[in-house]
């Protein structure tokens, strides 16, 4: 029956369109390959413009590294591709981004750019069979309104590390049991105790500043760095409530009336709350709207803190809405 529960969950993921088609996968691979060609051509042009010797130009190269949901293999049909261009100077081998040689004397900007790639690479090394579970966990977080770092919730990297942690704790159980263990583990986790992946190559050290976070989650390539987090008092309460709800619904997978649709039911905002704050953004052009929305999103956390001062608790809905009766490009939060 546990195997049946796992298969039904996988089928639900397919039915919801979370698994891209083969054609979509080929399109993504084609795009990445074209980008790589563009990057290499650019690097060689830079080398020529700087009048480097011909033999140096010949071996000058660059590479494109993917990370985020695509790098972890849990992207959906409409997911974007997070990618990092690495170059120049001479990088002609297949690049091992975890090699300390490449990280020596790197500046802060370069380190921040590489951190997501390093995290993805390390997670995949420590927990190779993470895709199915992480895809399910991300879908749950989106459905229940607890996904989105800018809104004060869990981002993709947070969920990836939490899911990988559970896989390390229970390496020999099926998908349905892993999901059940995921909810149980974090419904009763003694926050702010940090979550850290098991890695024999690292010796974690306590960072007093980071443990002041509501939910400290250590990056898997560092002994002392933690995931950037915007979690507030309100969103921490919502996340823990959803973990507990998930645990209560999955603690007995063998019940005859068990149904994954109950676990993954969209959060009922209109039934749960009576008061809403609506943020309406519009612009004359779609491109201008994108910049405007990005600027506003980057300041959501400041708004959350101010609302908490006035209201005590608030629950930001990460979804974006459109009013079909309005012609101008717009977004509603």
What confidence score (pLDDT) does residue 90 get? 47
What confidence score (pLDDT) does residue 204 get? 63
pLDDT, tens digit only, all 333 positions of the chain = 888 898 898 888 888 888 888 888 899 999 999 999 998 888 888 888 778 888 888 888 888 889 888 888 888 777 888 888 887 654 444 756 666 666 677 777 777 777 878 888 889 889 988 989 999 999 999 999 999 999 999 999 999 999 999 999 999 999 999 999 999 999 999 999 999 998 877 766 666 555 578 999 998 887 778 888 999 999 999 999 999 999 999 999 988 889 999 999 999 999 999 999 999 999 998 888 988 898 999 899 899 999 999 988 899 999 999 999 999 999 999
Token pair of 241, please?
């409530």
Backbone φ/ψ region at 304: left (φ over 0), alpha (ψ -120 to 50), beta: alpha
What confidence score (pLDDT) does residue 91 get? 44
Token pair of 91, please?
């990088």
- In angstroms, the CA 199 to CA 221 distance is 9
Alpha helical stretches, state H, the chain: 2-15, 22-49, 54-59, 68-72, 100-103, 108-126, 131-143, 156-169, 175-187, 233-250, 260-263, 269-272, 286-297, 300-311
Beta bridge partners of 86: 63
What confidence score (pLDDT) does residue 146 get? 97
Those residues whose C-beta lies under 8 Å from the C-beta of residue 69, and which sit 6 or more positions away, are: 75, 76, 79, 82, 138, 156
Cα 26–Cα 30–Cα 34 angle in degrees, nearest 5: 175
What confidence score (pLDDT) does residue 211 get? 55
Closest to 85 measured CA to CA, from 95, 98, 74, 100: 95
3-state secondary structure at position 65: strand
Residue with tokens 């895809």: 135
- What one-character-per-residue DSSP string does 178-214 give? HHHHHHHHHHS--TTSPB----TT------TTGGGSS
Those residues whose C-beta lies under 8 Å from the C-beta of residue 90, and which sit 6 or more positions away, are: 56, 59, 60, 61
């Amino acid at each position: 029956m546990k195997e049946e529960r796992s298969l039904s969950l996988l089928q639900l993921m397919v039915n919801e369109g979370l698994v891209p088609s083969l054609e979509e996968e080929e399109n993504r691979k084609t795009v990445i390959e074209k980008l790589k060609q563009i990057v290499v051509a650019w690097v060689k042009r830079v080398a020529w413009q700087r009048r480097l010797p011909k033999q140096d130009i010949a071996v000058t190269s660059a590479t494109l590294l993917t990370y985020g949901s695509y790098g972890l293999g849990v992207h959906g049909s409409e997911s974007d591709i997070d990618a990092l261009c690495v170059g120049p100077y001479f990088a002609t081998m297949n690049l091992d981004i975890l090699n300390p040689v490449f990280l020596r004397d790197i500046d802060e900007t370069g380190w921040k750019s590489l951190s997501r790639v390093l995290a993805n690479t390390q997670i995949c090394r420590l927990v190779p069979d993470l895709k199915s579970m992480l895809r399910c966990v991300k879908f749950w977080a989106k459905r229940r309104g607890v996904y989105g770092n800018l809104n004060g919730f869990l981002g993709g990297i947070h969920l990836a590390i939490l899911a990988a942690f559970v896989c390390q704790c229970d390496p020999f159980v099926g998908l349905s049991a892993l999901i059940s263990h995921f909810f149980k583990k974090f419904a009763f986790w003694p926050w702010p105790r940090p979550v850290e992946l098991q890695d024999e190559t690292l010796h974690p050290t306590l960072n007093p500043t980071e443990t002041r976070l509501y939910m400290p989650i250590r990056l898997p390539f560092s002994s002392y760095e933690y995931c950037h987090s915007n979690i507030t008092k309100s969103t921490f309460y919502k996340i823990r409530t959803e973990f507990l709800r998930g645990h209560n619904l999955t603690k007995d997978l063998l019940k005859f009336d068990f149904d994954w649709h109950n676990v993954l039911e969209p959060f009922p905002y209109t039934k749960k709350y009576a008061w809403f704050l609506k943020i309406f953004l519009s612009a004359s052009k779609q491109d201008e709207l994108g910049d405007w929305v990005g600027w506003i999103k980057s300041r959501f956390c400041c708004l959350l803190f101010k609302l908490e001062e006035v209201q005590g608790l608030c629950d930001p809905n990460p979804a974006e809405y459109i009013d079909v009766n309005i012609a101008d490009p717009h977004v509603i939060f």
